[in-house]
């Protein structure tokens, strides 16, 4: 009788670890091939995405279709390999992009971007000084897209590093699943990493209610 109970307990443990292994394996597959998280750590996409937003990215979005203008995407920086950026596609292959005095023109037509674009600097910088407010005209090459930040006076986008190859796009932003309010007093993630990891954990646990940006959770990336 005792042997039977031990076998049954042992069998339950085996089944538990099998189930746990399957759950972990499914999570890894989903993370690698289906969806990935991306943390927004700047105001480059203000007001569409806020600093501290955690964005869920659909990695399968462009397996069966091409990126289109208006999509918010995560892409690998064309120059700084290994660095991921977030931005909005404003033009696709074959289209001509020109920026004149902060106004964006696609194929000669003024882009209707009032719903999402913002400017936090009233100055208009001359073309000889910066490509921020004057750019092009330039035609987007085949297999590439032209990406801009929604905050047109902040961040780095195709005005600095040119059109982005579609192969560098990691996926399409879907919605904000979590959001932390920026806190300048929070511990920084720096070497040696063990101590900051503990400090960050306890700091966030202690300030948990005040740091959650409830209004941002569930916001669509559009």
Classify the C-alpha dihedral 172-174-176-177 as positive or negative.
negative
Question: Residue 82 and residue 121: Cα distance in Å, rounded?
Answer: 30
Give the 3-state secondary structure of residue 196: helix
* 20-28: long-range contacts, CB 8 A cutoff, minimum separation 24: none
Q: Is 146 part of a structural domain of the chain?
A: yes
- Residue 1 in any domain: the answer is no
Residue 162 covered by a domain: yes
Instruction: State percent of the chain over pLDDT 70.
Output: 81
In which domain, by residue range, is 101 found? 34-180
Q: Is the pLDDT of residue 82 over 90?
A: no
Residues 32/47, Cβ–Cβ less than 8 Å: no
Is 45 within a domain? Answer: yes
Instruction: Indicate the pLDDT class of residue 3, thresholds 50, 70 and 90.
Output: low
Residue-wise pLDDT tens digits, 49-62: 999 999 999 999 99
Residue 72 phi, psi dihedral angles, 5° rounding: -90, 120
What value does the mean pLDDT take over residues 11-16? Answer: 56
Per the structure, the count of domains in the chain is: 1
In 3D, which of 87, 57, 51, 49 has the Cα closest to residue 69?
87
Assigned domain for 4 exists: no
Name the pTM for this structure: 0.80
CATH code of the domain covering residue 54: 2.10.109.10
pLDDT in tens, 114-142: 999 999 999 999 999 999 999 999 999 99
User: φ and ψ at 77, to 5 degrees?
Assistant: -60, 130
Q: Give the C-alpha separation, 13 to 54, whole Å.
A: 36
Write down the mean pLDDT value for the chain: 84
Q: Is residue 7 part of a domain?
A: no
């Amino acid at each position: 009788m005792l042997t039977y109970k031990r076998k049954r307990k042992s069998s339950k443990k085996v089944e538990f670890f099998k189930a746990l292994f399957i759950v972990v394996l499914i999570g890894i597959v989903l993370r690698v091939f289906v969806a990935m998280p991306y943390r927004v750590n700047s105001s480059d996409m203000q007001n569409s995405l806020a600093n501290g937003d955690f964005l869920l990215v659909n990695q399968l979005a462009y397996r069966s279709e091409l990126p289109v203008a208006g999509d918010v995407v995560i892409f690998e920086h064309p120059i700084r390999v290994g660095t991921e950026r977030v931005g909005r596609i404003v033009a696709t292959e074959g289209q001509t992009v020109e920026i004149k005095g902060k106004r964006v023109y696609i194929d000669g037509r003024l882009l209707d971007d009032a719903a999402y674009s913002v400017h936090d600097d009233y100055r208009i910088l001359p073309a000889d000084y910066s490509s921020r407010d004057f750019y092009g005209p330039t035609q987007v090459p085949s297999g590439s897209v032209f990406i801009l930040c929604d905050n047109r006076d902040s961040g780095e986008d195709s005005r600095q590093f040119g059109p982005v190859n579609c192969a560098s796009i990691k996926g399409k932003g879907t919605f904000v699943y979590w959001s932390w309010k920026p806190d300048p007093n929070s511990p920084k993630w720096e070497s040696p990493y063990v101590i900051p990891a503990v400090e960050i954990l306890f700091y966030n646990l202690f300030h948990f209610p005040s740091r959650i940006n409830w209004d941002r959770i569930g916001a669509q990336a559009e």
